[in-house]
Chains A and B, each alone.
Chain A
């Protein structure tokens, strides 16, 4: 099974400052079609998860452009250029390249200092 390791697990941030979350996979996430199926999700308190980024770097409709995804192979990053209060929550990476099983990172809790 592919293990997804996120860091940090807790991220206190100052409003208006940048933030980044790392996600590493235990093996390359390049699929046989050449794509990388790595998604990022945001889960605000009391809500269902919401997909923010798909296939490493594609932002979903309605997602603010302060969110961006990058990476290749086994190392991936979710970046927030300027953190806003509504960004508080838990962020998960997930791989859909090697399955079953589909696997998630442990989650990174973003909070305001």
Chain B
């Protein structure tokens, strides 16, 4: 059973920071880019960020650009999303998705981020 596992979600106040992480099996993680996709409560899916295998290319949705930073540790098969200056509209479930830039084949169970005063 393939497993992508997210962690790190929680409740924070507007303006605060949070870091979510994802661990994936080697055969998904190795040589592949990884994405973060989020879903606000009761809403649809929104792509957030992508990182290539060697961290050469990183992309962000306009809604998070300048506030979120994606990174990865290939020695540990993990990818992280550092989220700063959080806003109430960042509330939602954050999914780690791979492999590659186009596949979106494997999704984790998601981690819930709640931004509320």
Q: Which residues of A contact B (CB under 8 A)?
A: 37, 39, 41, 43, 48-51, 54, 60, 90, 92, 94, 96-97, 99-107
Contacting residue for A48 out of B59, B105, B110, CB 8 A? B110
Whether the Cβ atoms of B102 and A104 lie closer than 8 Å is no
B45 contacts the other chain (CB 8 A): yes
B72 interface residue (CB < 8 Å to A) = no
B88 to chain A, nearest CB (A): 22
Minimum CB distance partner of B61 in chain A: A101
Closest B residue to A104 by CB, please name it: B45
**A51-B105 in contact given A92-B44, A100-B59, A100-B60 (Cβ < 8 Å):** yes
Q: Which residues 31-48 of B have a CB within 8 angstroms of A?
A: 35, 37, 44-47
Contacts of A60 in B (CB 8 A): 105
Contact B44 A99 (CB under 8 A): no
* In the complex, chain A residues whose CB is within 8 Å of the CB of B61: 100-101
Beta-carbon contact of B47 and A102 below 8 Å? yes
State which of A50, A96, A97, A107 has its C-beta within 8 Å of the C-beta of B45.
A107
Interfacial chain B residues near A101, Cβ < 8 Å: 47, 59, 61-62
Q: Does the CB pair A100–B104 fall under 8 Å?
A: no
B59 and A49: CB pair below 8 A? Answer: no
Q: What are 28 of the A-B contact pairs (CB < 8 Å)?
A: A37-B102, A48-B95, A49-B45, A49-B107, A51-B107, A90-B44, A92-B44, A92-B45, A94-B45, A96-B101, A96-B102, A96-B103, A96-B104, A97-B102, A99-B101, A100-B47, A100-B50, A100-B59, A100-B61, A101-B59, A101-B62, A102-B35, A104-B44, A104-B45, A104-B46, A104-B47, A105-B44, A106-B44
**Alpha-carbon distance A50/B106, docked complex (angstroms):** 8
Q: Say yes or no: A51-B104 contact (C-beta < 8 A), given A107-B44, A107-B45.
A: yes
Contact of A49 among B50, B95, B102, B103 (CB under 8 A): B95
In the complex, A96 Cα to B44 Cα: how many Å?
Answer: 17
**Contact across chains for B110 and A54 when beta carbons are under 8 A apart:** no
- Given A39-B104, A41-B104, A49-B37, 13 more A-B residue pairs with CB atoms under 8 Å apart are A37-B102, A49-B107, A51-B105, A51-B107, A54-B105, A92-B45, A94-B104, A96-B103, A100-B47, A100-B50, A100-B60, A100-B61, A104-B46
